[in-house]
Structure 1
Amino acid sequence: MPKFLIQATYTAEGTQGLLEEGASGRRAAVEQVVSGLGGTVEAMYFAFGEYDIVLIVDLPDASAMAAAGLAVKASGALHTRATPLLTLDEADEAARRQVRFRAPGAQGPAGA
């Protein structure tokens, strides 16, 4: 099952809800969304800095991730960023694949 890194920043309204509900309440809400889409939450952390919360989730496919992202963003409570994660085996497979690409302005294909 594909893994996704989710980074989110709470809006003022979302932060107010977090203060009222607490972090454990947010964990339950996240698990409900993810499990409803056929996935699982691997890790969930609150953080300092650019993002307030960081998650790693397993979801059946990119469409499930998109559905979750749309629902969350439509709430107006968070701004999110989702990044697909590759296993080491998947990265090795990508590195083995031949890709013919010509950079803008280059004369011939590179990486042949």
Structure 2
Amino acid sequence: MSYYLFRGKYSNAALKSLVDNPEDREKAAGEMIAALGGKLHHLFFAFGEDDVIALIEAPSDEVMATCALVVGASGTMSAGSTTKLMTQDEAMAAMKAAGAARAAYRPVGG
């Protein structure tokens, strides 16, 4: 499974609803992600550009896209982004592959 960082901004209507009737959004998000075969590791409320930051583990990019589409289509978020993350082992494998592929690359002006 892969890891993803989701960052989102609540819509004005969603923020009003959360103030009027506070609810556990971690539970709601976790249930939807689990139904698709993934796992919500953490959901944080944040100050700054984003209202929510979540660390999600999903079996595929398609599942993560499905999660983002469900949330986006609900009108809950006014903006959001998803970043695919790599484990240290995956990064090390990429570094080794880059070392091997370096000979096949011609840099600009080279």
Give the TM-score of the pair, scaled to structure 1: 0.84
Q: Per the alignment, do residues 102 and 10 of structure 1 end up closer, same or farther by CA in structure 2, a change over 3 Å counting?
A: farther
Q: Residues of 2 paired with 1:82 and 1:102: CA distance?
A: 32
Query: Stretches of 4+ moved more than 6 A in 1?
Result: none
Q: Per the alignment, do residues 52 and 89 of structure 1 end up closer, same or farther by CA in structure 2, a change over 3 Å counting?
A: same
> Is there any run of 5+ residues in structure 2 with no aligned partner, and where?
none
Shift of 1:101: 4.3
In the alignment, which residue of structure 2 is the partner of 1:34?
Answer: 33
Between the two proteins, what is the percent identity of the paired residues?
30
What's the CA shift string for 1:59-98, capped at 9, x where partnerless?
A: 1100001111111111222021111111001111111112
Please tell me the residue identity of whatever aligns with 2:7.
Q
Give the TM-score of the pair, scaled to structure 2: 0.85
Q: How does 1:52-71 map to 2 (within 5 A)?
A: 52-71=51-70
Shift of 1:53: 0.8
Shift of 1:21: 3.6
Higher helix share: 2
Q: Secondary structure at the match of 1:48?
A: coil
Q: Residues of 2 paired with 1:43 and 1:14: CA distance?
A: 20
In the alignment, which residue of structure 2 is the partner of 1:92?
Answer: 92
Q: Secondary structure at the match of 2:49?
A: coil
Please tell me the residue identity of whatever aligns with 1:33.
M
Q: Residues of 1 paired with 2:6 and 2:69: CA distance?
A: 13
The structure, 1 or 2, with the larger RCO (C-alpha pairs under 8 Å, 6+ apart) is 2
Shift of 1:17: 2.3
Please tell me the residue identity of whatever aligns with 1:86.
M
RMSD value, Cα: 1.6
Q: Residues of 2 paired with 1:70 and 1:102: CA distance?
A: 39
